[in-house]
């Protein structure tokens, strides 16, 4: 079970992601620096959270045009599972791998707290470990998590069951349209989400609700490989 | 050398919480009659060469690919500004 984590200047959740992937797979992920033009052959690529390039221009905008993201787009086109968390989600949107944009939080405040997520599609390769409609806990920590897309895009996401997670029970922390917390691409192999599942995978974290995303993604790759 | 100014604005209908906050602050200053405020960005770009048509093509490309996020933003290009 091989994984890779993309490294960009200004990310700060890369260590947490590396620790989570190491715990779950039993093996440290490979790391890929922003200037790399190819990715190693892995079962899951993760773009972690932080503030790549200081959020200059727009969150994720500069990172999305870095050489490594071209390589991530090529891997995604070949069907490799790609997970973007927080800044990673912003980068995937800016890179055009996912539709929509993440804008400044509606209350203009950085939010760092736990939210509840409803698993609105438990059939994606990132969510099979959960039950349809299950409510899970997950921390968020961001300033630009206010998901926006035009009506046609939203309808497409809705009609094709591409909204994987929604903020549940009035916990929407950022004003995201339709409470959207995480979406997949049309092929279903690229997931972007604002909350941080890597921070809720061990009992010492206070819960293990985030594990299912990694276990789903890696379990799916395993069965594809076999 | 061609000098250009690019103005990036939020599309109509896209919520602009920063503009709203500015609106409220203007109210706090006691400046009356302020309607809606929308915040945008300005980029001043220098381009080698003198051909305005090819500059326009390049400027459109840079706006579409980087300077504006066309999901939420519009852009306008002015050449030889000021």
Domains in chain B, CATH or no CATH each: 2-79 (3.30.1280.10)
Inter-axis angle of helices A211-225 and A14-25, nearest 10: 60
Identify the pLDDT of residue A183: 98
Q: Residue A85, Cα to own-chain centre: how many angstroms?
A: 3
- B-contacting residues in A 74-113 (Cβ below 8 Å): 93-94, 99-101, 103-108
Identify the pLDDT of residue A223: 44
Distance CA A173, CA A186 (A): 26
Residue of A64, A100, A148 to mutate, testing the B interface (most B Cβ within 10 Å of its Cβ): A148
Q: What parts of chain A have a pLDDT lower than 50? A: 223-226
For A78, the domain range is 3-225
The domain tally of chain A equals: 1
* % of chain B exceeding 70 in pLDDT: 98
- B-contacting residues in A 145-174 (Cβ below 8 Å): 146, 148-150
Max Cα–Cα distance, chain A, nearest Å = 47
H-type alpha helices, chain B: 17-28, 52-62
| Interface contact B71-A61, CB threshold 8 A | no
Distance CA B13, CA A98 (A): 21
Strands A82-85 and A44-47 turn out to be parallel
Give this prediction's pTM.
0.94
Q: What is the mean pLDDT of residues B45-67?
A: 95
Residue B39 in tokens: 């915040």
Identify the pLDDT of residue A220: 62
| Interface contact B17-A106, CB threshold 8 A | yes
Distance CA A43, CA A225 (A): 9
Measured CA distances, A168 to A87, A116, A192, A197, A199 (Å): 21, 5, 17, 15, 19
**What ipTM score was computed for the predicted complex, to two decimals?**
0.86
């Amino acid at each position: 079970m091989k994984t890779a984590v993309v490294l960009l200047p200004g990310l700060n959740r890369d260590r947490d992601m590396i620790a989570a992937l190491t715990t779950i797979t039993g093996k440290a992920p490979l790391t890929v620096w922003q200037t790399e033009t190819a990715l190693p052959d892995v079962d899951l690529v993760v773009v972690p959270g932080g503030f790549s390039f200081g959020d200059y221009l727009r969150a994720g905008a500069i990172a999305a045009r870095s050489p490594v993201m071209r390589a991530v787009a090529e891997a995604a086109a070949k069907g490799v599972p790609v997970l973007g968390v927080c800044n990673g989600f912003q980068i995937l949107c800016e890179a055009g791998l996912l539709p929509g944009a993440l804008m400044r939080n509606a209350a203009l405040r950085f939010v760092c707290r736990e939210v509840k997520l409803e698993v609105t599609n438990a059939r994606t390769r990132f969510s099979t470990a959960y039950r349809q409609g299950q409510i899970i806990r997950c921390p968020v920590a961001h300033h630009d998590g206010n998901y926006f897309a035009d009506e046609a895009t939203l309808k497409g996401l809705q009609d094709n069951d591409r909204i994987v997670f929604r903020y549940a029970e009035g916990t929407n922390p950022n004003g995201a349209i339709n409470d959207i917390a995480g979406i997949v691409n049309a092929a279903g192999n690229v997931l972007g989400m604002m909350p941080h599942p890597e921070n809720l995978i061990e009992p010492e974290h206070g819960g293990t609700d985030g594990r299912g995303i990694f276990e789903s993604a890696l379990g799916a790759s395993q069965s594809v490989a076999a | 050398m061609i000098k250009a100014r690019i103005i990036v604005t939020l599309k109509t209908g896209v919520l602009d919480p920063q503009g709203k906050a500015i609106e409220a602050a203007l109210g706090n200053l006691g400046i009356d009659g302020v309607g809606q405020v929308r915040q945008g960005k300005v980029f001043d770009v220098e381009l080698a060469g003198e051909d305005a048509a090819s500059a326009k093509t390049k400027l459109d490309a840079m706006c579409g690919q980087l300077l504006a996020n066309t999901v939420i933003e519009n852009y306008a290009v002015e050449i030889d500004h000021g």
